[in-house]
Structure 1
Amino acid sequence: MLCRQPMDTRFTSLFTHSKDIFFVMDMDGVILHTNYAFRNTFNYNDEDLADLNIAAVCHPADKERQDESQASLLIHKKLIGYQSRIKAKDGCYFSVIWSVILNEDDGLIYSSGNTLAGMIGQPENDIVQHTIQSLNEGFIVLDANWDIISFNPAFQAMVNVSLNELDGANFMEIKSLGLTEKVESEFQLSLTCKKSIQVQYLNEYSNSWLRINIYPYHNQLAVFIRDITEIKMQEWILELEKRVLELNAMAQYTLVQSVVELLTGIERIFPDMICSVLEVDDAQERLYTLAGPRLPQDYSNQLEGLSIGPNIGSCGTSAFHRKQVIVSDIENDPLWADYVYLVKPYGLKACWSSPVMSSKNSKVLAVFGIYYRTIREPNDDELSIIERTVNILRVLIESKKTEDNIREQNNRLQTIANISSHELRKPVATILGLVNLFDNDDLQNPLNKEIIEHIDTTSQQLDGVIHSIVERTAYIKAFGADA
């Protein structure tokens, strides 16, 4: 018997002799004790269970519900009828109904459970049964009246309805699915025309996108339901990036317009985000607003010329250290101690800032800042979009700067051409004319002295023109070396 920490003696006898599945874990989810029924059911030995976290053997689709249940356990100290799927050593999943107690005396969590026979009305074939049980997608079978004949644990987790409530429930009446009239009509069409159908829709109840595949069989429907919110977000982000890069390539679009288009698109995908981009000056000393479509204008005005330094909010600090700065609670973070008064009137509670480094990593081009009106830290999706946005901003800023440099280079080349064709030709022509007037037969001719003086003056003018050309050429060479 796995046993690494003394447990409450009141539970020892029950733990040892119970035919129910029984295990004890600490507050971090590390399994400390198991009984014979646990090891026998899931085929684990003591070595397999050493330092094992319960999360490692729970089905991935149950994670969100598991987090919610853990929060409820901390409040109520017990859970009755909690269902989850546990992975056995051979990879098969067992659905288990648990009774869970948090014992405050020893700070341990005691769980006892019984395996379910499986999905209600599930097929007899073991392979099909195991596959359906293990799916991350919700699976149900409906009759012609839309009553649920059978379902798998993933569907139950998706709709967050108890086992008893789902048994024989009417699919169309499950509120958490947020079914629309269009979706309901697709079900009717599939049943009537015996036609397989796929439909996607926004579930406004949970603000998530669902994809439903409907397969008719005799007078029943087999239905697979998948949450595709993440897939849809990736599609939207790719579409946004493509559009912004295309716009930025157009000469008539300024950098500000391109960045505003990018930030507006991100805020549509992530409605709680308030995005901004602060550009860094050439001296790498100050920040200036490039774009912030939803940031309060009065607040943006106060950021103009903000210094870069080690304790200057999120953006100033990010630019100074050249690394991401996550401030989840502005009001209580020392980085904002001298600036919290700026954001308080606008209800901004969190600010995450990331530097946009040049492609050679030699300087900070800008800082991408995200504000929230709630205290919070970024999740994986938000960290991903931040990284992608920083990369896009680098491309936008550097491409426009390159365009500006090329335009400046062309202007200088045009100036050189104008100097060569006009300003340079004039003194050269003057010198040639004066040389022709020079009296070679009578070197003492007084006019020769005047001609030499004119040649000297014109030569100095010519030297000034050549110097101007050299200066402009040097700039072009320097630009070429930087590029």
Structure 2
Amino acid sequence: MDTRFTSLFTHSKDIFFVMDMNGVIMHTNHAFRNILNYSDDELTGINIAALCHPADKERQAESQGSLLLNKKLVGYQSRIKAKDGCYFSIIWSVILNEDDNLIYSSGNTLAGMIGQSEDDIVQHTIQSLNEGFIVLNANWDIISFNPAFQAMTNLSLTELAGANFMEIKSLGLTESVESEFQLSLTCKKSIQVQYLNAYSNSWLRINIYPYQDQLAVFIRDITEIKMQEWVLELEKKVLELNAMSQYTLAQSATELLMGIERIFPDMICSVLEVDDKQEKLHTLAGPRLPQAYSNQLEGLSIGPNVGSCGTSAFHRKQVIVSDIENDPLWADYVGLAKPYGLKACWSSPVMSSKNSKVLAVFGIYYHTMRKPNKEELNIIERTVNILRVLIESKKTEDNIREQNHRLQTIANISSHELRKPVATILGLVNLFDNDDLQNPLNKEIIGHIDTTSQQLDGVIHSIVERTAYIKAFEADA
């Protein structure tokens, strides 16, 4: 860089940096480093794209093409990431110097725009939003839009400029949504509408604000929020059902899996219980899994190379297989899955609360080869936790039922079997002749007392056994 401009460049209050034609930063000034909280070494040599907001990268690529053509850009807006992860919205003036083939950029943040017009600040703020924003005229033509809206539509700047909002296929607008726009424009009424975008299989929330003959529209992807709501509702419903004595564990688990499959239509879910000896798998639930396939899993031994579920139970850890046909864990079992078009299987163990044993394995199958994303890993974790609650609560119910049965047995023994030998012994004692100890009748009475005492001992031993079982159960609970 020309030394004549070095001092101006270094001490300017404006953000200033120089990069080469590939976007690699060569120089930054103090203002740039101070605002973003990077050191000179941290910035020099990195590509400017690494600092740009993901939603701005396509616009950045397009602006580079415009810069090469026109040699300058004025009023270009982008969001740059600071060291703490926050983004600063910056308006840039950019010049391509053909003498040295370097790009010189000078910018201002919103914080540095004090004194500018209120309209400029509002416009700058709107451009920085993560929500999509557009302004429409009465014919639904797009007058203005921000980078977030462009990212949402996956259209280029050229395609969006002057485009008709109602004709953008990627938004998946339905007739009912379109009618809400017409109502807002006609009645000058602010409206909020939520709908499923069938094109992208995502939920969008639109807020429409009429102003004169135009509409200001904010669009937000609320898919994650909707899914969280659905999962919470599903968990509540399943836990309530599981608390009812007439619902079996298999029924509760099936209800849970069906709910998950409604939220994630591509998932095919299953739950395999692990026996008490931690040796075999038993089918508990799998509403969409082919019955013939489920039948082949029944009684399958767990092991280090037994598909996804058997391996997960053996190692007590999550096993993600994205390609069943070519994964060594499925080498001996690929023939089971192939006829049903199952291409991927992710399995997670359901551990007991004390982490002492594997209660079951939660499996997810897909008809395509794939790995889980963050959202899917989250639902797996939540489902495993709910399954643990379902299984342990039902096991506790079964143990309490067995305990009550044993207590009732003890009560029956106490009220009948215990009283009978005691009454017999007391009656025999009353017949005993104390005046003539050598009386033959006394010997016969002593024999009966001995026999009856042995019966009584057996009854008492039975009570002790049942009591010991109950104490052992309480200790494990």
Q: Could you list the runs of 5+ residues in structure 2 that have no partner in the other structure?
A: 2-16, 34-38, 68-75, 95-100, 109-116
- 1:172-251 aligned at under 5 Å gives the runs 172-251=166-245
Give the AA of the match of 2:88. G
Q: Does 1:403 align with 2:397?
A: yes
- TM-aligned CA distance change 1:456 to 1:95, over 3 Å: farther
Matches of 1:111 and 1:146 in 2, distance apart?
A: 42
Paired with 2:415 and 2:354, the residues of 1 have a C-alpha distance of 39
1:328 paired with 2:322, answer yes
- Write the letter of the residue equivalent to 2:351: M
Distance across 1 between alignment mates of 2:297 and 2:289:
11
Q: 1:95 to 1:210 in 2, by over 3 A?
A: farther
- For residues 264 and 163 of structure 1, what CA distance do their matches in structure 2 show? 42
Paired residue for 2:111? none
Partner SS for 1:241 = helix
Answer whether contact 1:60 1:136 (CA < 8 A) is retained: no
Question: Could you tell me how far apart the structure 2 residues matched to 1:174 and 1:116 are?
Answer: 33
Is 1:329–1:376's contact at 8 Å kept on the other side of the alignment?
yes
Structure-2 separation of matches of 1:56 and 1:224: 28
- The alignment status of 1:468 with 2:462, answered yes or no, reads yes
Residues 21, 145 of structure 1: alpha-carbon distance in 2 compared, 3 angstrom cutoff: farther
- Whether 2:125 is the aligned partner of 1:131: answer yes
Q: CA deviation at 1:454?
A: 0.6
Provide the C-alpha distance between the structure 1 equivalents of 2:396 and 2:301, rounded to a whole number of angstroms.
26
> For the residues of structure 2 that align with 1:147 and 1:114, how far apart are their CA atoms?
33
Structure 1 distance, partners of 2:54, 2:423, is 86
Contact 2:184/2:210 (8 A) holds in 1 = yes
TM-score, L = length of structure 1: 0.82
Residue 58 of structure 1, CA deviation: 2.2
Residue segments in structure 1 that go unaligned for 5+ positions in a row: 2-18, 26-32, 71-78, 98-109, 118-122
CA distance in 2, matches of 1:205, 1:160: 12
1:102 is aligned to none
**SS of equivalent to 1:313:** coil
* CA displacement at 1:41 relative to structure 2: 13
* Per-residue deviation, 1:445: 1.2
Post-superposition CA distance 1:237-264 (Å, at most 9, x none)? 1111111011111111110000000011
Preserved contact between residue 142 and residue 148 of structure 1 (Cα < 8 Å): yes
Q: Which residue number corresponds to residue 348 of structure 2?
A: 354
Cα gap change, 1:295/1:270 in structure 2, threshold over 3 Å: closer, same or farther? same
CA distance in 2, matches of 1:256, 1:54: 55
- Equivalent of 1:91 in 50, 71, 88: 88
Aligned residue number for residue 292 of structure 1: 286
Q: Distance in 1 between matches of 2:282 and 2:312?
A: 14
Compute the RMSD of aligned alpha carbons.
Answer: 3.1
Quickly say closer, same or farther: Cα 1:259–1:81, change in 2 above 3 A. farther
Amino acid at match of 1:310: P
Q: CA deviation at 1:275?
A: 0.7
Q: Quick one: structure 1 residues 206 and 84, their matched pair in 2 at CA, closer, same or farther if it must change by over 3 Å?
A: farther
Deviation digits for residues 87-125 of structure 1 (CA, Å, limit 9, x no counterpart): 17681245899xxxxxxxxxxxx99899999xxxxx973
Question: What whole-Å deviation, never above 9, does each CA across 1:123-179 have from its counterpart, x for those lacking one?
Answer: 973322221111111101112222211111111111122212222222112222111
Partner in structure 1 of residue 142 of structure 2? 148
Q: Which residue among 18, 32, 51 is the counterpart of 1:43?
A: 32
Is contact 1:58–1:84 with CA below 8 Å preserved after alignment? no
1:96–1:437 distance in 2 versus 1, CA, 3 Å: farther
For residue 271 of structure 1, give the secondary structure of its aligned residue in structure 2. Answer: coil
The 8 Å contact of residues 42 and 88 in structure 1, kept in 2 or not, is answered as no
1-structure distance, mates of 2:93, 2:307: 49
Alignment of 1:375-390 (within 5 A): 375-390=369-384
Does structure 1 retain, via aligned residues, the 8 Å contact 2:53–2:81? no
Correspondent of 1:34 among 4, 21, 25 = 25
Structure 1 distance, partners of 2:31, 2:322, is 41
User: Alpha carbons of 1:129 and 1:115: their partners in 2 closer, same or farther (altered >3 Å)?
Assistant: farther
C-alpha spacing 1:348/1:54, structure 2 compared with 1 (3 Å): farther
C-alpha change, 1:190 and 1:34, in structure 2 (3 Å) is same
Counterparts in 2 of 1:114 and 1:159: CA distance versus 1, 3 Å: farther
CA distance in 2, matches of 1:96, 1:278: 62
Q: Deviations over 1:319-366 (max 9, x none)?
A: 111111111111111111111111111111111111100000111111
**Distance (Å, rounded) in 2 between the aligned partners of 1:94 and 1:134:** 10
Which secondary structure does the structure 2 equivalent of 1:377 belong to?
coil
Q: Is the 8 A contact 1:23 1:35 kept in 2?
A: no
Over 3 Å counting, the alpha-carbon distance change for 1:211 and 1:111 in structure 2 is farther
Q: Quote the offset at 1:398 in angstroms.
A: 0.3
Which amino acid in 1 is paired with 2:356?
S
TM-score (norm 2): 0.83
Inter-partner Cα distance in structure 1 for 2:198 and 2:461: 71
CA deviations on 1:412-457 (whole Å, 9 max, x unpaired) are 0000000111111111111111111111121111111111111111
1:403-442 to 2 correspondence within 5 Å? 403-442=397-436
Instruction: Kindly state the Cα deviation for residue 206 of structure 1 after the two structures are TM-superposed.
Output: 1.4
- CA separation of 1:262 and 1:88: change in aligned 2, threshold 3 A: closer
